[in-house]
Structures are given as C-alpha cells and as structure tokens.
Amino acid sequence: MTEITPEIVAEHGLTPQEYDKVLEILGRQPNLVELGIFSVMWSEHCSYKSSKRWLKTLPTEGPQVIQGPGENAGVVDLGDGLAAVFKIESHNHPSFIEPYQGAATGVGGILRDVFTMGARPVMNLNALRFGAPDHPKTRHLVSGVVAGIGGYGNCVGVPTVAGEVNFHPAYNGNILVNAMTVGLAPADRIFYAKAVGAGNPVVYVGSKTGRDGIHGATMASAEFGADSEEKRPTVQVGDPFTEKLLIEACLELMATDAIVGIQDMGAAGLTSSSFEMASKGGMGVELDLDLVPLREAGMTPYEIMLSESQERMLMVLKPGREDEARAIFEKWDLDFAVIGQLTESGRMVLRWHGETVAELPIDPLAQAAPEYDRPWDEPEPAVELDERALPAEGDPLGALERLLVSPDLASRRWIWEQYDHLVGGDTVERPGGDAGVVRVAEGPKGIAATVDCTPRYCLADPRSGGAQAVAEAWRNLNAVGALPLAITNNLNFGNPEKPKIMGQIVGCVQGMGEAAAALGTPVVSGNVSLYNETDGQAILPTPVVGGVGLVPDVALVTGIGFPGDGLEIVVIGATQGHLGRSIYLREILGREEGAAPPLDLAAERRHGDFVRGLIHGGKIAACHDVSDGGLLVALAEMALAGNRGCSLAVPAGESALAGWLFGEDQARYIVVAEAALPILEAAEMAGVPAQAVGATGGSELQLEGYGHTSLARLRSLHEGWLPGLMGGDLVGAAE
Amino acid sequence: MKSAVVVFPGTNRERDMVRALERASGRHPALVFHKDTEIPPVDLIVLPGGFAHGDYLRAGAMAARSPVMREVIARAEAGVPVLGVCNGFQVLTETGLLPGALLRNAHLRFVCRTVTLRVENPQTLFTGRFAAGETFDTPVAHMDGNYFIDDEGHRRLADNGQIAFRYVAGGAPGEANPNGALDDIAGVFNESKTVLGLMPHPEDATDPLHGGTDGRKLFDGIVEALA
Amino acid sequence: MKARVHVTLKPGVLDPQGKAIEHALDTLGFGGIEEVRQGKVIELTLAESDPQAARSKVEEMCRKLLANTVIENYAIDLEA
Amino acid sequence: MKARVHVTLKPGVLDPQGKAIEHALDTLGFGGIEEVRQGKVIELTLAESDPQAARSKVEEMCRKLLANTVIENYAIDLEA
Ligand SMILES: Nc1ncnc2c1ncn2[C@@H]1O[C@H](COP(=O)(O)OP(=O)(O)O)[C@@H](O)[C@H]1O
Ligand SMILES: [Mg+2]
C-alpha cells in the first residue's frame, strides 16, 4: 500500500489542517483511494469552501421557485404544468488547455445537469471571455472554443440561442467559457439526486469509464503557473452522439416510475455522484468496482473513482425495475450496469477483486467539508470621472463607427452562425437580439433567456457591478417581452486566498443578492470558478448572470430591428451621460477609469415593468435595451437589424454630446411605435422618464447637425471585424 | 398524403419535419426507427436532419448502412418518392440513391443562417408549386454541405434537369453559397426525379415564427402532387 | 492481427481540410509547400490471424463502409 | 519530396469515431474486431529535397499545427 506522505497530501490539494481533519474522521490513515476521494470532495470545485459563506446570503426563494440551489439545476414554474430547469457552468481551465474539447465537454456537462432533472434541454447559451484580440493565443482559443460549443450542441440538437463575448487582456492567460442550458419539464415530474431505500440497486449508464481528466476537479481549483501547459493532464474528449442517446434513453426511462434518484457524473465522476446521492438520502452505499464498465484494461480503483469520463450517469432504481431500465438503455446502445446498492450503514464501501478498497463515513465527510471565512478587503471606491475635463466630441458619427468595430461591440455573427440556433423549429428570437426565445409545448408560451456581465463595472465597484449584471439580465428579458422569473450565476474570479480578490467576490455576491431581491429574480442555481490567475495575474471579476423569463405569448415578442419607416423612437429611462468605465471612454479616449454607472434598482424595476407592459399591450413595434456603448450604439444596432435607417435629434448641447450619445446610464430601453405621444403620456403616468428622440426611415443613420452615415457602411464595419480577426481561421494547435 | 419519417440514432430534426408535414398534409407522419425492417405503406419517405451516428467516419455513412435503409432503397427503386434534408441528403448520397457526395464545408465551419435558393427545375413532384427561376429563403445548418460531383456527373445532372436548387445572392450578409458547393448546388434529384436531397431546411421555414414561411411551397407542392 | 486502412480523397476531389492546412502553414511562415492533402487512417485490431483472410475481410469493410468510393480511394496495410 | 504525417489519438484518449466504426462494423456482421481507432493522415508535398531538413521542418509543423499534442501523437514518414 502506498505510504501517505505530506507530499502526496499536498499533491491532492489538501492543506495540513484539512489532512488532520481526515485523520480525525477516519481515526486512521487513509489509503490512496480514500485520500483521492477526500481530495475531490473537499476541492473548491465540489465543496465551494471559499464561497459558501457568501452564497448563503443570496435570495433563493419565491412563489415561482420549485427548486433552488443545491440540486443539479434550479427549477421554476412556468404555469400550465410546465417548469423551466436551468443552470450555468464554467469550463474555463480545460478550455484554455484544449479549447475545442474543453468547451465541448463544458456544454455536455451542463446539458447533463439539466436532463438529469427530467427536463428536455431546449436552449443553450454561452458567456465567453477571451484575451486581447492581438494576443498570440486569442485566435486559436476563439476558433477552438466556438467550434467546440457548436460541435457539441449542434450534434445533440439543442439550439444555441444567445450568449455574450468580451475581449480583454486580463483574460490572456485565463479565458472564461461559461455554458448555460435551459430545459423544459413537467412541473410535477422533477427528478432529484436523493437516494433512499436500503437494498435499492445503484445503476451506472452511459459511456465506459476511461482514464480521462483524473483530478479535473482539483485542477479547476488551483491557480495556473506558466508550466501548466507542460503538466497537461489528460483532457476529456466529448462524445455528443452518446450524449444525445443518453438524453433520449434517460427521458424515456423517466416517463416510467422506475427511478428513485439520479445524478450525472460530472467533476469527480463516480465519487461525487455516489457520495452526493447517498448523502442527500442519509444512506450508505456499497459499490463493486469490478462491475463498472471500463474502457481500458488495468484501471485501478483510484482511477475508476476519480475518472471524469463524460456522458455517464448514476441512478438508483426501485427494486425489481432493473430489466425494464436495461431494455431502454440497450435499445439506445448504451452501457448499463448494476454496480452496487444502497445500505443503512451511512458508509461508502468500495469493493474490488473481492477486497474492500475503501470505507468512509459519508455524513461526517460531507458535514466536515471545509468552509472558510477568508479574509477580504473592502474594495476601494473608484474615483468619479471628471466628465467636464473630457475633450468635446466633434465627430460623433466617426466615434460610432469606431465603436461598432471595437472588439466588445462588433457583430458576433461569425460566432453564432457556427451554432445551430434553429434546430427544434421553435426558435422565436435568434441570436442578435436582446434575449433568446424558444416556444414551448406548441405555444403560445415561450421561455426567454440571456447571459450578462459587465466586468469593467465589477472591477470599478464589485457591489454595483454584481447588481448591474442582474439588472442587465432583467432588462434583456423585459426587452423581448418576458417576465423575468429567476437567475443562475457563474462566479468567475481569481485566487480567493488573496484578500483583494476575496473582496471582489464578496462585493459582487452582495450586489447580486441585492438586485435579485429588488427585481424579484431569485438565484436558483449557479457555479463558482476561482483561481483564474496565471502568474499572479487575475482575471477581471466576472460574475456572469443567466436570466430566465416567461413569455406569455410568443406572438407578442418584439425584436430589436426597426420594423418599418416613419415610426417614432422613444428612450425610456433617464439619460444623464455617465461616461465612467464606458466603452466610449476606453475605445475612443483610451482610458479605463472612473466609477461604474450608478444603479437605481427601484427605477430599474419600474422601467422594466413599464416596458414589458407596453409589449404585452401590443403598443410597440421594436424594443432594445441600452447597454454597452450607450444610446447611439443601441440605435445603430436596431437600424442594422431592421435594415432601415433613422434620424435622431440631439437635445444636448455640444459639451454634453458624448455623454448623451455614448454614456452608459442604466435602466434604459429604446422603443419604437407609430406615435411617441401615447407612450410619453403612459410613461408620465407611471413615473418613468421618457424622451422622444427621432424617427425611423431611409437607409442612413442621421444625426441632426452632425451629418449622416450609411447603413451599408456601418454594416460592413460592424460585420467585418470578427471575420477579419479570424481570417486565417485554422490557427495552430500549439500556437 | 401519408408519409413516414425515418429516425436514426443522432437524428435531431425529426420534430421540425413532422410538424412541417403535418402543417402541409394535415396528417401525422409515421416514425420509423433505424432498426426497423419495415416501413408502413406511404406516399412519401422522409430522411430528416441531424447527426446520425454522430456523423462519425463520414456524414451519413453509417446511417446509410442501417437495416431500415434497405427498405428505403427498395421503396425508392419501386418509385416511392423520397425526400432527404441535410443529414438525410448525406445519407441518400451515401446509399447511391442520389449522385455525388457532400464534403466538409469549404471554410471548415458549421454554418447556420438563412440562404436564398433558386428553383432550377419546377417540373417535378417536389417543386410543382414553384415557377422556374423562382427564389425563396430558407435556413441552412450543417457542417458537411459542400456538394461535389465529378465533371461527367455534373454534366449529366445539368443535362438531365437533376439540379433542384442553387444558392443565389439575397439572404443574410455573407456569401450566397454557404459551404463551397460545386456550381452552387443546394439540392439534386435522382434521374427519375422521384428522390430529392437538399442541404437547406425548408421545414424550418413553415411557421410565421420561423421568420418566414417560404418552405411551405415545397411541402404544399408535394402534398398536391401525391394527394 | 492489425490492419491499417488509409482512406484518401481521389485526385481531383476538392479537399477543404488539406487546403486549410496549406493556408495555415503558409500563414505560420512555412514556405515551400506545394500541396497538402488530408485523409483518414483507420486502425483495426482483428481476431483473424491469417493475413490472406484478414486482407479480404478488410477489403470488404472498406467497400461496405470505411470508404466512399465515389470520392475516396483506400489502401490496406497489414501488420502481424 | 513527400512527407506523410500520421496523427493518432494518444492511448487512453476516448475515440468516439473509432468506437462508432467498431459498432457499425459489428452491426454489418463483421465479427472478430477487437478495436478500431481512427486517425488522420496528412500528405505534404514539399519543395525541400534534403531529407534531414524536410524532416525537421515537418516536425515543427506537427508541433505547431498538424497535431494537437495534448491528445494526439504524430509520426512522420518521408518519401523521396
Ligand atoms: N457566445 C455567444 N453565443 C450566442 N450568441 C451570442 C454570443 N455572444 C453574443 N451573442 C449574441 O449577440 C448579441 C449581442 O450580444 P451582447 O452585445 O452581449 O448583447 P446584450 O448587450 O443585449 O447583452 C446577443 O443577441 C447575444 O445573444
Ligand atoms: Mg441587450
């Protein structure tokens, strides 16, 4: 037996204190298998030890919530007996090492989280962060990640309908790949990971187990060094075809009542799935590792327990239902094996070749999982930008053109055309709008979903940045006419052992909680990805929010495109001209500074409710929220989407021009309608600021007093940047 | 019109197709599984889109050799009309029911977007509702849609009116031909015009919510011809 | 017994993957590349130990599945 | 000078394609197949005529582009 040395303990990512706890729980030294199990169960990835204390502060309840955090995915009620099941998850480190497979298996993992709960996946989203466009690795990473997301989702047949992409040098050494799935389930037939019933069979289904990604969970919990690429761990390869079969087979079995509990094998594979199921049900579990379907000869119990091979699930069945279940999985050509049973013992017992190779108490191990209250620094308040000291904007249309070709505002068409966003025949809002919308159950209802985060705001002020991410998601849902229901979140940060980073985490979570409470969108699921640092350089704080809303009637959904000529354009919400941390400031003036735009959650709610009311009342013909780049960029996007120009009267004086056109004041939407007046009146009644600013028509974007520019020119600039960047598409594997 | 839709493991656009057929014919198509060796008596057999067997090895290769395809081939040879869309088109070329082959897209990327098609031969049971040269919009969504055929085969296609649709300019920004297909070919017939394969997805352009209903003409025409 | 099947595109058939590699190598600064073609290699481990029998079996696999003879050629190598 | 590069998945890395081919051959009634792995073969025609120089150039191409060394191995054959 391997001697457990301090080196081996350290290699397993356990601190000496944590190892002392292991000794205390066992009352003896663990063997290597047991140490491996402790190591993954107590990893940051599985135990949330640094973030748990703060995650507990998030609002998670509401009348619409069927299942909050703690299960594979969150569940909200859509009415009519339907439920939306959703979650977001990161695959950051693997995607940096092997972008195609890393991103693909990220999509596979989040799909499993959702169909494990009995839901058919109906939409995928993704939030991506890459390094500087001219960084030597960026093109290779963009090309691989996008192809991987498409490669997996397209094959499985789930439409990818929305997402977001940022470029910033802070992600040069740590890209972010966050994938979200929304599924649809009958509200009264949700499946949980809780295993009960001594003697009930534990069943393994899906692909065989190989030596993939052993220690993926611990890798996802450690900071990168420059040598990480050398130490390349075995990367998991995704098999979307098998996943597709697994979805069909699981849903077919779920239509019966044979399943007691079910859990996908994600990070830490068989270990965490069996542990979590038994722990939730207060049971013990006995597994015979000789029965696990293996891909390779000579695998050890350690490898079997820690393998992260993809496309596998663990289920507990009702006694006597094995044959019925086996028939379904065999029909779909998937492996099916009864590998053990539940016991009353409260212990996990693993047998192999007739011997007991591990024996661990389940509850103490789960209960004693470390939880840290890490020291954190209160972030320093950002200094307000002195806007009067900025140079006057003499060429606003020139600035608009430069913004439309800037990395964060250029068209993402090159990306989303690689995603099948139509499969299923229910896509109502394609990528390119404010939120993806998919019709459900033959209509009229639909689900809307969006992912949002503005890391530059989070860096300036974590608290307001965390809140802003929730508010932007709320806005994007309202803008298509959806009633926002709940959110999921993916907290991407640097090393939490540094008080400054921990301060960002705390601030963002607090802000997110405040906004979620104020806007009535509780957090029902989420994921945390820490240690996103390379050589001490942390990413920008990036708490991505995934929002889900209910569209009562998909026929009412408004797009962003101007649908006709001669329509009047109204801005909902007050335009104050806040330029601190704006894209304009960064791209046109080359400065990343100032405070983030102030956020008024009460106004946010009022304006959102008002706009949604207009849409449901059939009062407006198009709607777009105003976010990155401000008013003029939003208008240009609407003009391009509708292939129709507009003219805009500028009420502001010359000195405040840049702020009025490009400021990123929050809680704003642009709506267009036959006539502005009724909307202005309704807004006044509702206590919502509103301003008529122009009218649609023509083939140019006209700014009264400043000339005009043609849509054709704007389009070629806007559409050209990303294809231009990616021009030499196939970028070296090792580049 | 009675129809059957063949489902392989990995097929993922069967629901889109079923609904398009229902909209046009008012009847629910029969679903046939890849392991089935019999197909009910129908007026039309449809192979829908997806990634049958993951499209591993070559798109459509393994599906073309599955048990149900023996029956599809037999019916096709007996004159039963067969429609293959996207993956279904790939399967039909792999069986030899349609000439040519579908290679990886020239830019090596999956492509999902709206394209414009021109009807090249309106005198078939599939295209009777269209006028010669008429154009219509429909989405594509594929990785391997780059149609290839050798020179002699190409000449025969052209001479014999077997080119069904070509990509032409009109749709979304980007090139008209989304995949590098030879001679902009988007769909082809067999010699007797009873088998049609095309890469685009007319079934995803049959509902106002799809953003256009141009695809209906194809299905309505088929129903009319086969009623 | 092991068999290695090389499946390559017939001359004259467009090879998008080969083209893309050629272009990428060029972009990476590798000069003097006249042509690149990409094919597949399929390695089979067979229970059969008689070379003659193995070859004829693999031939049949190629014709029935492994190659699409409309666009591809194949070649078989056997290793003991 | 021609170079032939074989790119194969490292042992232990899941090969969904190989697995599927194995399954399909089985369904077609080919018995006695123990394993199938699928790889790529890339054929390069180079202006370079010195074998040594050609090999080292192709080596570099493999590392930089042709193989994904995280999951793949490569082997180079030169033909005059
Ligand atoms: N990674 C992606 N996947 C799919 N769609 C994307 C992706 N990135 C951006 N999009 C789409 O492009 C459009 C513009 O994105 P973004 O500017 O982030 O929108 P917003 O400002 O409304 O959040 C949105 O419709 C979004 O869904
Ligand atoms: Mg938006």
Q: What separation in angstroms does the CA of A276 have from each of A76, A156, A366, A367?
A: 23, 27, 8, 12
Q: Where are the domains of chain C?
A: 2-79
Q: State the pLDDT confidence band at A734, using cuts at 50, 70 and 90.
A: very low
A12 as an active site residue: the answer is no
Interface predicted TM-score (ipTM): 0.93
Burial call A279-313: b when 16+ CB within 10 Å, e when fewer? bbbebbbbbbbeebbbbeeebebbbbbbbbbbbbb
Ligand 1 pocket test, pick from A412, A457, A633 with the greatest ligand atom count within 8 Å of Cβ, gives: A412
The catalytic residue among B53, B86, B94, B154 is: B86
Q: State the pLDDT confidence band at B88, using cuts at 50, 70 and 90.
A: very high
Q: Which amino acid is at A540?
A: L
Which positions in chain B touch C70 (Cβ < 8 Å)?
93, 96, 100-101
- Of ligand 1's listed atoms, the one at least distance from the Cα of A433 is 25
Q: Is B48 on the interface with A (CB under 8 A)?
A: no
Evaluate whether B136 touches B119 at the Cβ level (below 8 Å).
yes
A181 φ/ψ angles, rounded to the nearest 5 degrees: -130, 140
Per-residue pLDDT at A368: 85
- Of ligand 1's listed atoms, the one at least distance from the Cα of A436 is 27
Average pLDDT of the segment spanning B94-103? 97
Distance A425 CA to ligand 2 centre (A): 23
Residue A234 has pLDDT above 90, yes or no: no
Residue of A nearest to C26 (CA): A728
Q: CA–CA separation, B91 vs B101, rounded Å? A: 10
Residue among A155, A50, A153, A44 at smallest CA distance from A92: A44
Which positions in chain B touch A103 (Cβ < 8 Å)?
none
Q: What pLDDT digit, counting tens, does each position of A295-314 carry?
A: 988 899 999 999 999 999 99
DSSP one-letter code for A244: H
Q: Is the CB of A546 under 6 A from ligand 1?
A: no
Size of interface A-C (CB pairs under 8 A): 13
Q: CA–CA separation, A262 vs A314, rounded Å? A: 6
Per-residue pLDDT at A222: 54
Q: Spell out the residues 6+ positions from residue B214 whose beta carbon is closer than 8 angstroms to its own.
A: B136, B137, B138, B202, B205
Residue A731 has pLDDT above 60, yes or no: no
Residue A199 has pLDDT above 80, yes or no: yes
Per-residue pLDDT at B198: 98
Low-confidence ranges of chain D (pLDDT < 70): none
- Of ligand 1's listed atoms, the one at least distance from the Cα of A430 is 25
Average pLDDT of the segment spanning A130-139? 96
Nearest CA to ligand 1 atom 1: A163
Per-residue pLDDT at C43: 96
Per-residue pLDDT at A652: 63
Residue of B nearest to D15 (CA): B56
The percent of residues in chain A predicted with pLDDT above 90, rounded, is: 88
Residue A733 has pLDDT above 50, yes or no: no
DSSP string, chain C: -EEEEEEEEPTTS--HHHHHHHHHHHHTT---EEEEEEEEEEEEEES---HHHHHHHHHHHIIIII--TTTEEEEEEEE-
Per-residue pLDDT at A727: 84
Q: State the pLDDT confidence band at B170, using cuts at 50, 70 and 90.
A: confident
Per-residue pLDDT at A729: 46
Average pLDDT of the segment spanning B62-89? 97
Q: What pLDDT digit, counting tens, does each position of A504-531 carry?
A: 999 999 999 999 999 999 999 999 999 9
Per-residue pLDDT at B102: 97
Distance A37 CA to ligand 1 centre (A): 39
Per-residue pLDDT at D79: 86
Token pair of C65 as six digits: 């599945």
Provide the 10 A C-beta neighbour count for residue A620: 22
Q: What pLDDT digit, counting tens, does each position of A81-126 carry?
A: 999 999 999 999 999 999 999 999 999 999 999 999 999 999 999 9
Q: Say yes or no for a CB contact (<8 Å) between A734 and D65.
A: yes
Residue among A424, A457, A522, A480 at smallest CA distance from A124: A424
Average pLDDT of the segment spanning A565-570? 98
Provide the 10 A C-beta neighbour count for residue A232: 12
Size of interface B-C (CB pairs under 8 A): 40
Q: CA–CA separation, B104 vs B59, rounded Å? A: 9
Average pLDDT of the segment spanning B40-54? 97
Per-residue pLDDT at A213: 75
Average pLDDT of the segment spanning A555-567? 97
Distance, CA of A95 to chain centre = 15
The catalytic residue among B34, B53, B154, B201 is: B201
Q: State the pLDDT confidence band at B125, using cuts at 50, 70 and 90.
A: very high
Q: What pLDDT digit, counting tens, does each position of C62-80 carry?
A: 999 999 999 999 999 998 7
Mutate to test the interface with B, among D21, D26, D36, D65 (most CBs of B within 10 A): D21
A215 as an active site residue: the answer is no
Average pLDDT of the segment spanning A164-187? 98
Average pLDDT of the segment spanning B36-42? 95
The catalytic residue among A45, A93, A578, A624 is: A45
Q: What separation in angstroms does the CA of D11 have from each of A297, C46, D8?
A: 12, 18, 9
Question: Angle of helix A269-281 relative to helix A32-41, nearest 10 degrees?
Answer: 70
Distance A101 CA to ligand 2 centre (A): 29
Mutate to test the interface with A, among B7, B35, B110 (most CBs of A within 10 A): B110
Residue among A492, A631, A659, A501 at smallest CA distance from A573: A631
- Of ligand 1's listed atoms, the one at least distance from the Cα of A472 is 23
Evaluate whether A267 touches A358 at the Cβ level (below 8 Å).
no
Positions of E strands within chain D: 2-9, 33-46, 72-79
3-state class (DSSP) for residue A674: coil
Evaluate whether B220 touches B207 at the Cβ level (below 8 Å).
no
Evaluate whether A450 touches A547 at the Cβ level (below 8 Å).
yes
Which positions in chain B touch A242 (Cβ < 8 Å)?
54
Average pLDDT of the segment spanning A10-30? 93
B86 as an active site residue: the answer is yes
Which CATH superfamily is B3-226 part of? Class I glutamine amidotransferase (GATase) domain (3.40.50.880)
The percent of residues in chain A predicted with pLDDT above 70, rounded, is: 96
First to last CA, chain D: 5
**Nearest ligand to the C-alpha atom of residue A718:** 1
Ligand 1 pocket test, pick from A88, A176, A416, A429 with the greatest ligand atom count within 8 Å of Cβ, gives: A416
Distance A476 CA to ligand 2 centre (A): 5
Q: CA–CA separation, A297 vs A303, rounded Å? A: 11
Residue of B nearest to A446 (CA): B209
Q: State the pLDDT confidence band at A730, using cuts at 50, 70 and 90.
A: very low
- Of ligand 1's listed atoms, the one at least distance from the Cα of A146 is 1
Nearest CA to ligand 1 atom 7: A163
Average pLDDT of the segment spanning A150-166? 98
Q: What is the mean pLDDT of chain B?
A: 96
Per-residue pLDDT at A266: 82
Residue of A nearest to B113 (CA): A417
B159 φ/ψ angles, rounded to the nearest 5 degrees: -65, -30
The percent of residues in chain B predicted with pLDDT above 90, rounded, is: 96
Token pair of A592 as six digits: 């990343």
Per-residue pLDDT at B171: 61
Instruction: Scan residues 316-335 of A and list those with Cβ closer than 8 Å to B.
Output: 332-333
Q: Say yes or no for a CB contact (<8 Å) between A241 and B9.
A: yes
Q: What is the mean pLDDT of chain A?
A: 94
Provide the pairing of β-strand D72-79 with D2-9.
Answer: antiparallel
Q: Which amino acid is at A520?
A: G
Q: Which amino acid is at A613?
A: G
Ligand 1 pocket test, pick from A110, A154, A164, A167 with the greatest ligand atom count within 8 Å of Cβ, gives: A164
Q: What pLDDT digit, counting tens, does each position of A38-87 carry?
A: 998 998 888 899 999 999 999 999 999 999 999 999 999 999 999 999 99
Residue A358 has pLDDT above 70, yes or no: yes
Q: A57 versus A389: which is more confidently predicted?
A: A57
Q: Is the CB of A628 under 6 A from ligand 1?
A: yes
Q: State the pLDDT confidence band at A650, using cuts at 50, 70 and 90.
A: confident
Asked if CATH classification 3.40.50.2300 holds for the domain at C2-79, the reply, yes or no, is no
Lowest-pLDDT range, A565-574, A678-687, D4-13? D4-13
Average pLDDT of the segment spanning A218-243? 63
Q: Say yes or no for a CB contact (<8 Å) between B54 and D20.
A: yes
Q: CA–CA separation, A603 vs A464, rounded Å? A: 15
Q: Spell out the residues 6+ positions from residue A221 whose beta carbon is closer than 8 angstroms to its own.
A: A13, A43, A44, A45, A530, A531
